[in-house]
Amino acid sequence: MIMLVLTALVLGAQHTLAPDHIAAVSVFASRHPSWRRALGLGARWGAGHSLTIVLLGGVLVWSGARVPDGWELIVERLVGLTLILVGLASIWRAGRAPRRWHEHDGVRHAHVPALRGAPHERDHRALLGIGMLHGVAGTGALVIAIPLSAGASPARSMVFLASFGLGTILAMSMFAGLAGALLGRAARLSSGAERALRVTAGGGSIAVGAWWLTMGGA
């Protein structure tokens, strides 16, 4: 059982590094250049992803059913479309974001303020939903199939899926926190750099989304 849990934790952390996952969370982290806020956003994505894996996996494990043919392709196309929309919104917001001018050591410069309050809460809800969507995509279905193909009992399969989800949450939280810390440093140095990072994150999301949309995540 210990090896089962450790293996699932490692696989969950590794699974986090999928391009579509990184692209989605990076966009939202670029809007909140602080390691604390970004860490929370990463945890929210991980929670959504893990929730779907555990719930859908539980249904399949205990019922013996299988994911319908063609379902993975449909969801992966939806993931691609979502990433494109998220990327476009990030670029649009970067162009419209207000600037706050102030001085440090006699040097006047501008910062693009991080989003707080209601927009921040909306981003948390959005990432939860995106994480859930990623959880039902092709890689999520593959994760669910791992303990089933290994002939594990339903109870052991659920332990595997829950541990996998925990590894995903921890790894994405750490990635997002690190990204937020680096973005926060860039924001303190230059508003132009922060704006450029937001646009870059949005462009990356669009590129990954276009690939997923046309290739189905292949």
pTM: 0.80
* Euclidean distance between CA atoms 137 and 49, whole angstroms: 10
Q: For residue 172, what pLDDT is reported?
A: 95
Average model confidence (pLDDT) across the chain: 80
- Give the closest residue to 137 by CA, choosing from 10, 49, 45, 17: 49
- pLDDT classification of 30: cutoffs 50, 70, 90: confident
Q: Angle CA(118)–CA(204)–CA(177) in degrees, nearest 5?
A: 50
Pick the residue with more confidence: 209 or 109? 209
Segment 164-179, tens digit of pLDDT:
999 999 999 999 999 8
Confidence of residue 97 (pLDDT cuts 50, 70, 90): low
Locate the domains of the chain by residue range: 2-96+123-215
HEC readout, 75-126: HHHHHHHHHHHHHHHHHHHHHHCCCEEEEECCEEEEECCCCCCHHHHHHHHH
